Amino acid sequence: MKIENLTVRARLRSPWESIDLGTALARQYWLPLFLVWLLPAALVLAPLAWLLPEHPGWSLFAVWWFKPVFDRLPLFMISRVLFGMPVSAPTALKQFFKQNRRDWLAWITLRRLNPTRSFDMPVTVLEQSSGAARSARIGLLHRKHASAATWLTLTGIHLEGFFLIAAFILIYLFIPEQVAANIDWLPTLRGDTLALEWASNVLYLFIMAAVAPFYIVCGFCLYIGRRIELEGWDIEIQFRDLAERHQRKQQPRQHGIAGGSGTVSILLFFALAFGSLTPAPEVKADSLETPQQAQQHIDEILAAEDFHRMEQINGWRLKEWESKEQKIPEWLIKFIEWLFNRSLDTDDASDSNWGAAIARLIEILLWVGVIAGLIYLGWRHHDKILERLRWRYKPKPKIAAPETLFGLDIRQSSLPDDVCAEVQRLWQAGEKRASLGLLYRATLSHLIEDFQFHFGDHLTESECARLVHRRQREPREGLPPVTAPLSRFVQQLTADWQQLAYAHRNPVDARINALCQEWQEVFRNDC
Amino acid sequence: MLDTTYNVETPEGIDLHARAAGPVPRILAYAVDVLYRTLILAALGIGLAFADTAGIGIWLVCSFLLEWFYPVFFEVLRGGQTPGKKAFGLMVVNDNLTPIAWGASLVRNLLRFADFLPFAYATGVIAMTLGRHFQRLGDLAAGTLVVYREADKAPVTLPDSTPLPPPRNLKQQDQQALISLFERHNDLSEARQQELANLLEPITQKRDSAALGYLRSVASWLLGGRD
C-alpha cells in the first residue's frame, strides 16, 4: 500500500463527505463491481430455485443472509483501484474463496446484523486482523464515524426496498390500461403467486447487486476517510511532495556551482581587462564571500519584519442603509377594524359555531393577502406601468425623408424652379434620359414633401407607385389624400420612366408634353 | 484525483470552492424534513379536530402548503437551509454559488413531482447518483446545487512552541499541511507525528522530536505567532 498512489484526493472530510466520495467512486467503477457481486449471488440463487421451487421467500432470504460473503469481492476490487492497481472482474472472481477465508463464519452469524457492516469490513478483508486486535481497531475507527456508518446502512436498506416497489410500479405503469383492467388480481390476493414471487426475487437480486457497490464503496471511503484523519495521510502526501521538490531543486544547484566556476573566471578576466577603462560600480552590500553566507544573509532578510508585516483591523462599523420606517396608513387600520367588526356582528347569532368563525377569519386574511399582493405588484412594477402609460402620449418620431432613391437625387433643393420648362429644354436638346429623370425626381420629391409619403430604400419604382395607388383607394387619416388623376399620372410616369431607364425605349415627343401638362395640373397648388 | 468539490471561477478570476453533497446525506436530510412536517400536520390535525368539516378543509390547505412551499420558504428566507438540511449542514445554492432566489427554488421544488416518480424519489436518487455534482432533475432544471455549508471552525488548543521563520519555497499547500500537523497534535499519535516530521529531514536537517518541534514552531509562525 503506497499512499502516494492514492487515486482520490486525500483531505480531511466529514463522514458525510466521505460517503459522497464513495458514491462518486462507485459510480465510476459501477459495472465491474455490479458484476462481481451479481454473479456469485446468482450462482447461489439459481440452485436454490431448482431445489426449493416452492419456497421463493426462503431462497431470497438465504441470498440476502449471505450478503457479507458477496460484499468482499467488490471491496477487494475497489481497494485495488484506490491505490492505482486495478484488477479486472474475472481476476477478482478467481479470488472469491481467497478473499472469504478470514472470519467468514463470524460475518454470516454474529456480525450479520451489524449496522456498520461496510465500514467494518475493510478491517477484516484489507487489514486481515481478527480477534482482540480487530476489536481494538474497530473501537478506534468507530469513535467518530460509527453513526454515519449506521445511517448509511439504514439508507441502503430503505433504498433497496423502495427501489423494488418503484420497479413494480414502473412495470405496472407500462401495462396498457385496457390490459390492466382485465388482469385477474384475485390470485395475488389469495397468495397463489409462485411465479410472481420468483420474478420479484430476480428483480430484487438485481436491485441488491446494483445498490451493493454504492453501499460497499461508501463504507470503504468512510474507512479511508477515518484513516486519513487518524494517520494524517494528507500531511504525508504533501510532505513527500515537498521533500521531493526540495531534492530536485538541490541537484541542479550543485551542478550549477561546479559549472559556474568557469563563468566566474571568464568574468574575472573581463573585469581585469577592462577594469582600468570603466570605473567599478560601488559595492554596497557587505562583503559576502561564500554562497552559504549569502544564503544566510538572504534568509535573515527574508525572516525580518519587512517581509512579514501583518495588519489586523477589527471593529464594528455601521453599514450605510436608510431606515425605511413606514407608517401604516390610517385608512388601512380603519378598514381592518371594519372587517373585524363586520365579522363579529354577523357572528352574534351563532357564536358557538367555531368553524364558521375561523372560516371568516381566513376569508378576511385571504382578502387582505390579495389586496396586499396587488399593492405589492403595483409598487414592484410601478416604473414599468408608468412608462407604459407615458408611451401612449409619446409622439411618433418623425422619419427623416430620404435624400436619394434609385440613385436619383430627390432633394427639393436639387430641382430647378420651373421643372416643366427644364424638362422640355432637355428633351429638345436630346438629353432624353435626363429630361424624364428630372420629371420623375420632381414627382417623387413632391410626393414625399407634400403628401408625406415614406418611401424606404427597399422599395422599387413600381412599389412606390403602388403605395400612391393604395393611398388613393383607401385614404388614411392624418395624411393628405391622393386624387385619382395624381395616382394615374404617377402610374403612367413610372411606366414610362421604367421603359426609358431599363429598356432604353424613348417615349414619343407628344407624350412628354402630355406628362408635363399633367404634372402641372396635379401639382398645381404647390408650384 | 477524484474529489467531490465543486469549483467556480468568477469573472474577476477568483476561484470559489464548494463541496457538493451526495445522495445519502440528502436523503437523510429529507427524512428529517418529512418527520418535522408529519409532526406539524399531526399537531394541526389534533388541534383542528374540534372544528369538524372546516377543520378538515383547513388541514388539507395546510398540508398542501407544507408539501409544496415548506422547502421554498426555508430555502429562500433561511439561507438555503430547510431544518433537515440544517441538521446535516447542507444548503441549496445556485450553480454559480450565489444564494438561491424565489424562481429557482420554486422550480426545483415543483419538479419534486418528476423526481418522485415512479415511487419514493427513485428517479431523483438515480439522477443524483449518476450526476457529476449530485443534482436531481429539479436541481438540473433550476440550475441549483446542494453543498455543504462551511462550518465555523472550533478553536483548537495548540501546544506551546516558540515561532520560527519557515524555510523558503513553501507552497500554500505545504504551509497548510504544516498547520494541519500542528493543529491535529491531539488526533495524531506522537509517534506518527514524528514519523511525518522525519519525511522533511532533507529540509529541516533534524529528526524525531527535534524535527517535530521545529515544524511546530514554523507552523506557529505561519499562524501569525511572533515572539
Question: CB burial class (10 A; 0-12, 13-18, 19+) of residue B170?
Answer: middle
Is A236's CB within 8 Å of B199's CB? yes
Query: If you measure CA to CA, which chain A residue comes closest to B224?
Result: A310
Instruction: Please report whether residue A124 resides in a domain.
Output: yes
When pLDDT is cut at 50, 70 and 90, the band that residue B133 belongs to is very high
Residue B105 has, within 13 A of its CA and on its CB side, a CA count of 23
pLDDT value of position A283 = 47
Q: Grid coordinates representing A58?
A: 426462503
Mean pLDDT of A48-75: 90
Domain boundary among A205, A231, A257: A231
Contact B119 A28 (CB under 8 A): no
Task: Choose the final residue of a domain: A231, A254, A270.
Answer: A231
Work out the average pLDDT over A107-120.
Answer: 89
Measured in angstroms, the CA of A267 and the nearest CA of chain B are apart by 30
Residue A513's pLDDT band (cuts 50, 70, 90) = confident
pLDDT at A358: 80
Residue A24 forms contact with B (CB below 8 Å): yes
- Would you say residue A336 has pLDDT above 60? yes
**3-class DSSP state of A381:** coil
CB-CB neighbors (< 8 A) of A314 in chain B: none
Band the pLDDT of B165: cuts 50, 70, 90.
Answer: confident
Domain boundaries, chain B: 5-148, 154-227
* Closest residue, chain B, to A157 (C-alpha): B24
Per the CB < 8 Å rule, is B202 touching A247? yes
A 275-304 → B contacts, CB under 8 A: 299, 302-303
Q: Does A361 touch chain B (CB under 8 A)?
A: no
Q: How far is residue A476's CA from residue A490's CA, in Å, rounded to a whole number?
A: 19
Helix (H, G, I), strand (E, B) or coil at A477: coil
More confident residue, B105 or A190: B105
What is the pLDDT confidence band of residue A454, given thresholds at 50, 70 and 90?
A: confident
pLDDT (average), residues A365-390:
88
Q: Is A310 on the interface with B (CB under 8 A)?
A: yes
Contact B21 A236 (CB under 8 A): no
Identify all chain A residues contacting B22, using CB atoms and an 8 Å cutoff: 16, 19-20, 23-24
Angle between helices A432-451 and A484-503 (to 10 degrees): 140
At residue A279, the pLDDT reads: 46
The answer to whether A34 and A249 are in contact (CB under 8 A) is no
pLDDT at position A275 is 45
Is ipTM over 0.90? Answer: yes
Q: What are phi and psi of A279, to 5 degrees?
A: -70, 130
pLDDT on residue B171: 86
Q: Is A229 on the interface with B (CB under 8 A)?
A: yes
- pLDDT of A206 over the 60 cut: yes
List the grid coordinates of A285. 552590500
Residues of B in contact with A362 (CB under 8 A): 58
Mean pLDDT calculated for residue range A305-314: 81
Instruction: List CB contacts (< 8 A) between A151 and chain B.
Output: 24, 28
Is the confidence at residue A345, as pLDDT, over 70? Answer: no
Angstrom distances, CA of residue B42 to CA of A229, A478, B37, B46? 43, 72, 8, 6
Q: Which residues of A touch B23 (CB under 8 A)?
A: 23
Q: Which pLDDT belongs to residue A324?
A: 61
Cell 529540509, located at residue: B203
Residue B165 burial by Cβ neighbours in a 10 Å radius (0-12, 13-18, 19+): middle
pLDDT at residue A255 greater than cutoff 70: no
Given this model, what pLDDT does residue A110 score?
86
Q: Searching chain A, which residue's CA lies closest to the CA of residue B51? A: A355
Model confidence at A391: pLDDT above 80: no
Average pLDDT over residues A280-299: 70
Query: Residues B33-36: contacts with CB within 8 Å, 24+ apart?
Result: B33/B70, B33/B71, B33/B82, B33/B83, B33/B84, B33/B85, B34/B84, B35/B84, B36/B83, B36/B84
Instruction: Classify B203 as helix, strand or coil.
Output: helix
CA atoms within 13 A on the CB side of A143: 10
The rounded distance, in Å, linking the Cα atoms of A212 and A63 is 13
Nearest CA in chain A to B132: A24
- Lowest mean pLDDT of A67-81, A144-158, A479-493, name the range: A479-493
Residue A74 belongs to some domain of the structure: yes
Sign of CA dihedral B85, B134, A168, A72: negative
Most confident of A448-462, B152-166, B170-184: B170-184
Q: Is the pLDDT of residue A193 over 90?
A: no
Burial of A86 (0-12, 13-18, 19+ CB in 10 A): middle
Which band of pLDDT confidence, cut at 50, 70 and 90, is reported for residue A158?
Answer: very high
Q: Which residues of chain A make contact with B53, given a CB cutoff of 8 A?
A: 355
Distance, CA of A280 to CA of A283 (rounded, Å): 9
**Domain contains A518:** yes
**Does A249 sit within 8 Å of B169, measured CB to CB?**
yes
pLDDT band at A343 (very low <50, low <70, confident <90, very high): low
pLDDT-based confidence at residue A452 (cuts at 50, 70, 90): confident
Tell me: pLDDT of A269 over 90.
no
* Cell reading at A17: 463527505
Pick the residue of B199, B205, B212 with the most A CBs within 10 A to test the interface with A by mutation.
Answer: B199
Region A108-123: mean pLDDT is: 90
Is the residue at A333 inside a domain? Answer: no
The residue among A238, A245, A360 with the most chain B CBs within 10 A of its CB, best to mutate, is A238
**Test the B interface: residue of A17, A215, A302, A313 with most B CBs within 10 Å:** A17
> In sequence order, which residues have a C-beta less than 8 Å from that of residue A216 and are 6 or more positions away?
A26, A33, A71, A74, A75, A78, A118, A121
Contact between chains at A238 and B196 (C-beta distance less than 8 A): no
Q: Please tell me the distance from the alpha carbon of residue A99 to that of residue A85, in angstroms, as a whole number.
A: 17
Least confident residue range of A31-45, A390-404, B107-121: A390-404
pLDDT at position A27 is 93
Confidence tier at A397 by pLDDT (50, 70, 90)? low
User: What is the amino acid identity at position A396?
Assistant: K
pLDDT on residue A280: 45
User: Is the separation of the CB atoms in A239 and B177 below 8 Å?
Assistant: yes
User: Which residues from A are below 8 Å from B192, CB to CB?
Assistant: 231-232
User: What mean pLDDT is reported for chain A?
Assistant: 82
Which range, A248-257, A319-328, B106-115, has the best average confidence (pLDDT)? Answer: B106-115
- Taking CB atoms and an 8 Å limit, are A239 and B119 in contact across chains? no
Angle (nearest 5°) at CA A152 between A149 and A156:
145
Residue of A nearest to B215 (CA): A239
Contacts of A81 in chain B (CB under 8 A): none
**Closest alpha carbon to A496 in A482, A481, A471, A516:** A516
Instruction: Identify the DSSP state of A329.
Output: P
What percentage of chain A exceeds 90 in pLDDT?
26
Of the candidates B20, B3, B10, which has an alpha carbon nearest to the alpha carbon of residue B147?
B20
Q: What is the pLDDT of residues B114-123, one digit of tens each?
A: 999 888 899 9
Contacts of B181 in chain A (CB under 8 A): 232, 235
**Do A16 and B171 count as a contact with CB atoms less than 8 A apart?**
no
Predicted local distance difference test score (pLDDT) of residue A202: 92
Distance between CA atoms of A293 and A301, rounded to whole angstroms? Answer: 12
Report yes or no: A225 and B185 within 8 Å, Cβ to Cβ: no
Per-residue burial over A161-181, b = 16 or more CB atoms within 10 Å of its CB, e = otherwise: ebbbebbbeeeeeeeeeeeee
Distance linking the first and last C-alpha atoms of chain A: 105
Long-range contacts of range A155-159, CB-CB < 8 Å, 24 or more positions apart?
A155/B24, A155/B27, A155/B28, A156/A211, A156/A214, A156/A215, A159/A211, A159/B27, A159/B125
Residue A375 falls inside a structural domain: no
Helix A509-522 vs helix A432-451: crossing angle, to nearest 10: 20
> Which residues of chain A neighbour B3 with C-beta distances below 8 Å?
8-9, 11, 21, 24
CA distances from A326 to A311, A329, A374 (A): 42, 9, 18
Residues 6 or more apart in contact with residue A179 via CB below 8 angstroms = none
Q: How far apart are CA A519 and CA A423, in angstroms?
A: 11
The β-bridge partners of B2 are A8
In a domain, A360, yes or no: no
Contact B130 A27 (CB under 8 A): yes
Does pLDDT of A456 surpass 50?
yes
- A157 at the B interface (CB within 8 A)? no
Task: For A258-268, write each residue's pLDDT tens digit.
Answer: 544 445 445 54
| Cross-strand partners of B19 | B5
How do residues B31-89 score in pLDDT, each as one tens digit? 999 999 999 999 999 988 887 788 888 899 999 999 899 999 999 998 889 999 999 99
Q: How far is A325 from chain B (nearest CA, A)?
A: 21
Is pLDDT larger for residue B208 or for residue A527? B208
The answer to whether residue A277 scores a pLDDT higher than 50 is: no
pLDDT (0 to 100) of residue A284: 47
* Choice among A121-130, A196-205, A329-338, B38-47 with the minimum mean pLDDT: A329-338
C-alpha cell read off for A409 = 437625387
Cell matching residue A114: 451489524
- Answer yes or no: do B165 and A23 touch at CB < 8 A: no
CA distance A459 to A441: 15
DSSP state of B99: B
Identify the domain containing residue A466 by its residue range: 404-522
Instruction: List the 418-437 stretch of A: residues with Cβ below 8 A of B.
Output: none
Name the minimum distance, in Å, from the CA of B110 to any CA of chain A. 20
Confidence of residue A418 (pLDDT cuts 50, 70, 90): confident
Identify the band that residue A281 occupies on the pLDDT scale cut at 50, 70 and 90.
Answer: very low
**Domain count within chain A:** 2
- Dihedral of CA atoms B107, B112, B115, B117 in degrees, nearest 10, equals -130
Indicate the pLDDT class of residue A119, thresholds 50, 70 and 90: very high
Cβ distance B125 to A151 less than 8 Å, yes or no, reads no
Domain boundary among A180, A206, A231: A231
- The tally of CA atoms less than 13 A away on the side-chain side of residue A36 is 28
Give the residue with greater pLDDT, A507 vs A477: A507
Query: Cell 478506534 maps to which residue?
Result: A140
- Residues facing B93 on adjacent strands: B99, B145
